[in-house]
Structures are given as C-alpha cells and as structure tokens.
Amino acid sequence: MDWSKIVLALILPVLVWLLTFGIFAVQMAFLVVFETRIASGIIDKKYFDYVLAAVIAGLASHYDQHFAAPLLSSLYPQFPEEEVRGVVLFFIGGFSALHAGVAFHYSLLHVTRFSGRSMLVFQQQVYEKDPRTVRLLWIRILNLIGLTSVALIALAHVYIYTAVRGLNNLDSPLVVAYTAGLVAAGFATIQMRKLILHFPSTLVLVAKLNQIMAQNAKPREQQRSLSPRKSDQIGWARRELLHVSRMLERLARQEDAVSGPDVQHPIAAIYRAVADEIRLYCRSPKSLDGPLPGSLVTTLRATQGFIITGDATWRRHIVRRLSVFDEHGKPRPLSTTSAERSTIRFVRVSGRLIDLSLAWIQQRWLAIAVVIAAVAVILGGLDIETLIGLAA
C-alpha cells in the first residue's frame, strides 16, 4: 500500500478548497475597498475616492487575469487553458458585479424594520445621527456575509473538481481517503463560516446584536422552533448573547489598552457593565421564560447605537440604566465575571465536546455508514482518471 498516495488523496480536496477560498477572499478584499470608496465618493462628494476606486478596480482586474484565473485553470490541464480561464473570469466578474450591485443598493436604503434582513437593520436614530457611517457599515456587513458565501463557493468547486477529474480508476483505499478528504473540506467550510461570523470585531458585534433583536421580534412560536431544547425557550439566543458579552469584554480590554496601564477607561466600564447585564440575565431563571425582556432589548439597542455613532445620548442611557458608575465616579463592581480562559477550562470543554460527539455518533451511526457508503459508490462509479493524474 502506497501511503504517500493515500495521504495525497486525503489532503487534495482540502487543498483545492483552501486555494479557491483564498483566491475569492482576496477578491472580496478588493470589493470591500472598491465599494466603500464609491459609497464615500457619493456621500462625501470627494473626487479622490472615485480615483482610488478606479485604481482598486484596475488592481482587481489584473489580479483576476494574471493570478486567480491561471491558478484555477491549472487544476484542469485536460481542457484548453484559454477556455477554462474564460469560464473562471466570467464567474469571478459576475460574482463581483452582483455583490457590488447588492451592496450599493442596500447601502442607500433606509431600512428600520426587520423583514428577513436580520443583520442589516438599524434604528431610525442611528440613520439620523450618522447616515454616512451606517451606509458604509451596511457595505462592510454585506462583505462579511459575502465571505461566508465564498466558503460555500470553494466547497462547491471541490465537488465540481471531483466530478470533472473523476476517481473511477482508483483503488478502494484511495477512494475512501479521498472521500474522507471531501468530508474534511465540508468540515473546514463549516468552521470557516463560524470563524467569520464569530470573529471578535465591532462589525461582527453589530451584526450579532441585529440578529438577536430580529429573532426576538419574531412570533413566539417561531422563537420556540429556533430553540434546540423546548425546556429552554431562549436557547436560540443564549449562545449568541454570551458571545456578544465576550466581544464586549474584548472591546473593553482594547479601550483599557488605549488609556494605559492601571487605568480603566470609562468606555471599558460601560462595555463591561453591558456584558455583565447579559451574563446576569442568561444565568437567571427569568431567561427560561422567553422572549427577551424589553429592558435587555433596550440596552442592546442603546449599545449598538453607541458603538456605531458614539452618541452621548445612548451612552448616558446605558450609564443611567445599568448604574455603571457609583457616586464617586468609579465603575461599580460587577455581579458576574467573564468566563475563565485557562488550561483547566480548555480541558473541561474539550472533554465535554468529545462526550457530545460520541453521543451524536452513537445515535446516528447507521445514517453515517449509509452516507459514506453512498458517496464511495458514487465516486467509484465516475469514469475519469486516477488521482495521480489529478495532481500532475
């Protein structure tokens, strides 16, 4: 048994996925700069922004023609290179044009009601206070969502690559290894999407706050259907709320870093107070009743408005509602503490995940076996060349 071939068969789908994702991720970086410069030029009427957008468009075109297309077309040596390059350029160009058009369209809208746009809605007061920031924020959030779509596009390309190149001449061990590689590519897609949507940044925080408030605005029965366990009626929001609290803690640490050692920044105290309020609610028996209480939703809205605009009205609202500072102007003691991040916690969480994984496999082992067998049969029946030919 040639183990080098087995290893190659195992990692090949993941490598194709990484290559595709990387190429499109760079394209998304060009798009976000191009879109924000165009929007800034329209809003601020600055000629230089249009010039910069034109330069970025030229760089993106050069990147597509001389880097992205040649790399992707090299995966299909059995086809004429110009033909494959044309298809790749057409797809990248169409994807970029569609994404830019959607971003420009929604960035100019004034959406204040939740109607399926769970991460793209802002309060009326936010639009009135700082419309420029909101419109640019729309574009950045749309690009964040677009990056999650890129992960799916990369996975789709892996399966297209498999179908075109084929596995019919491979031995059974290689087919099994390649199938495992396909599963690994799917797992990488899921994890990458989670990483993008959970990365601790202000952009993700604003999107998460909108998502929570949008789901809370849904009818009671729909909220219950979102919860994995019927005994926990806000199970759909608990994990997201705690994730928001962790991101607020991170923002607080950033503010403290700006103010210097041994000095707690007052804005950091505000962020920690909101995080404390979220953790206190999630730990209380009131969180089992659902939906989210109006006081917490009001706090989340004020926090979002303050993060986006920095307006003093929202800041004073949060300080007053949560009693962030005592009569001497010092941050009040928190009722809860953030989750520990130690080796012991890592081991405990890892053990819990292993237990959950084993329980999940035990409950679904028959379905998993059937799916693996079906994939192996499908891949083994494709009439195309060997894996060594794929890597050539």
Digit-coded pLDDT (tens) for 202-225: 888 888 888 888 777 777 766 666
Q: Which residues does the chain have with pLDDT short of 70?
A: 1-3, 110-120, 167-171, 221-231, 260-262, 290, 338-392
**Residue 330 CA to its chain's centroid (Å):** 36
Cβ contact 9:174 at 8 Å: yes
Domain segments of the chain as ranges:
3-198+367-391, 209-322
For residue 388, what pLDDT is reported? 36
Task: Give the residue among 100, 136, 157 at the shortest CA–CA distance from 308.
Answer: 136
Q: What is the pLDDT of residue 18?
A: 92
Three-state DSSP class for residue 331: strand
**pLDDT at position 116, please?**
55
Tokens of 198: 């959970």
Give the closest residue to 140 by CA, choosing from 25, 28, 29, 32.
32
Report the amino acid identity of residue 118.
S
pLDDT tens for each residue of 112-123: 665 655 556 777
The number of residues in the chain equals 392
Taking phi over 0 as left and psi of -120 to 50 as alpha, with beta for the rest, 68 belongs to: alpha
Name the 3-class secondary structure at 325: strand
